[in-house]
Amino acid sequence: MSTSIPISNQRKIIHVDMDAFYASVEQLDHPEWKGKPLAVGGESDRGVVTAASYEARKYGVRSAMNSRRARELCPHLIFAKPRFDRYKEISKIIRSIFLQYTLLVEPLSLDEAYLDVSDYPSATIVAEEIREEIYKQTRLTASAGISINKFLAKILSDWNKPNGQKTLSPKQIIPFLESLDVKKIPGIGNKTKLKMYHLGIYTGKDLKGQSITFLTKNFGKAGKHYFNLVRGIQNSPVKPHRVAKSIGIERTFSSNLSSEFFLEEKLEELSENLEKRLKKNKVAGKTLTLKIKYSDFLLQTRSKTLKFYVSTKELILEEAKNLLYDKKLLNSVRLIGISLSNLNSKKSKQMAIKETTKTDQLTLPF
């Protein structure tokens, strides 16, 4: 049995991920915080950690954690308010470095992106040069993963963090995936992981041993996806212009709200801001989703697909209120959000991306 990916299926993809980006920027701009546990986010008991430095992570502090819990884990934790304008400023510098090497750059967020560098003899050397240039221009470190597709590159960028990189050549892919814990596979969250463990699927080898029929039966459409991934198969190209699947906005309240009347006021504010975001992106949506997080952190979503596209504050608010009153609240509310999906983004808005085929893929060494 072959233990490598066919040469005809090879591309050279790099996933670059900045190391604890927001927290590292704060430590860069505040030298007195360097080497100390730091969290970016709200300091109040109801605040949420947006990012944590590596020093804070040693205490168990993680992003999306309640600030009070973070402080319990690390009493001397430093809190810094988010400065997104500053993060965007540095992100532009990083992106300009990427574009010096290739125009095939797919940003995922301010601090990470995929790059297709198939035209270069060595993707490993390119990744090293990019990381060196990022540090030279920003004094911040980045990690990178290098392989034949986005899925593998993303796994690998986390392998030698911080300030490291890992390359997986075609011959190494199958053995690597077979030894991988399934929880390391992107897209397999805690719930799916536990289900796989219950079915006796702990490693990539275990997953690879299952038929596509078995996986589809137990995991639905995702079953085929897992079937391909564990064989190193993923043909999604690097897309320089990514079209958003949804646009939304949410707010966490300083104190819990227990009445729909008060939530209506918040929905009006959110609807106005969502309208601005839709106008900025020149899109409208058909499916409206209301997100409610209760005081006990139970999350509930309510959605409705309309017969027409909406983008104005008035229509968004009207449908959001309908969803709000559709069911009784289960508890007092700490967060509420609204989003629009099923957007009317046209393919003409996207940059034309040629799907890589077997005949035009390169076979140069990594």
Q: pLDDT value at position 7?
A: 43
Task: Please say if the pLDDT value at position 279 is more than 90.
Answer: no
Domains identified in the chain and CATH numbers: 10-18+86-173 (3.30.70.270), 21-84 (3.40.1170.60), 175-229 (1.10.150.20), 246-346 (3.30.1490.100)
Asked whether the predicted pLDDT for residue 243 surpasses 70, the reply is: no
Averaged confidence pLDDT in the chain? 88
Question: Is residue 311 pLDDT above 60, yes or no?
Answer: yes
For residue 365, is pLDDT > 70?
A: no
Residue 205 has pLDDT above 90, yes or no: yes
The tens digit of pLDDT for each residue in 3-43 reads 545 444 578 999 999 999 999 999 999 999 999 999 999 88
Q: Is residue 199 over pLDDT 90?
A: yes
Residue with tokens 């030298």: 31
Query: Residue 172 — φ and ψ, nearest 5°?
Result: -95, -10
Return d(Cα 82, Cα 163) in angstroms, integer.
23
Q: Which comes out higher in pLDDT, residue 243 or 67?
A: 67
Q: How far apart are CA 97 and CA 252, in angstroms?
A: 36
Instruction: Count other C-beta atoms under 10 Å from residue 290's C-beta.
Output: 23
Residues noted as catalytic:
112
Question: Which residues neighbour 46 within 8 Å (Cβ) at sequence distance 6 or greater?
Answer: 66, 67, 68, 252, 253, 254, 255, 334
- Residue 328: partners with Cβ closer than 8 Å, 6 or more residues away: none
Non-local CB neighbours of 131 within 8 Å, separated by 6+ positions: 16, 141, 142, 143, 144, 163, 165
Q: How far apart are CA 301 and CA 291, in angstroms?
A: 5
Give the mean model confidence (pLDDT) for residues 350-364.
34
Q: What is the pTM of this model?
A: 0.69
